Amino acid sequence: MYAVLLQAPAGSNTPMIYNVLLWVAIIGVFYFFMIRPQQKKQKDQKTFVDNLKKGDNVVTIGGLHGRVASVDGTTVTLEVDKGVKMTFEKSSISREATAKTEATE
């Protein structure tokens, strides 16, 4: 049904170039509004995880808040309470826990 709606009538004088330009425009919109922002977000997340250092307040993907106690290769040790330390993969760190986030709770 949808394919029939996209096709021009048999007796149409519409050049094929307009159909090609329409598809190029649709692909361009998808790229600039969906693909490109997602790539930028992934790049920013990778930069954030690679630059983790001792003392940063972070939130894991599971929602656990903690302070970075140490960074070793692909793992991060978080101090979640006095004397309570947990080890996570770097990829499980979601974002930085900023003062703005803590003030809203």
Dist CA 88 CA 85 (whole Å): 10
DSSP per position, 18-41: HHHHHHHHHHHHHIIIIIHHHHHH
pLDDT of residue 8: 56
Interval 18-28 mean pLDDT: 92
Interval 78-93 mean pLDDT: 90
Tell me the CATH class for 53-103.
mainly beta
Tens digits of per-residue pLDDT, 45-63? 899 888 888 988 999 998 8
Interval 59-72 mean pLDDT: 90
Dist CA 105 CA 93 (whole Å): 20
Look at 95 and 28; give whichever has higher pLDDT.
28
pTM value is 0.62
Contacts of 65 (CB under 8 A, 6+ apart): 57, 58, 59, 80, 97
Structure-block tokens of residue 104: 């809203």
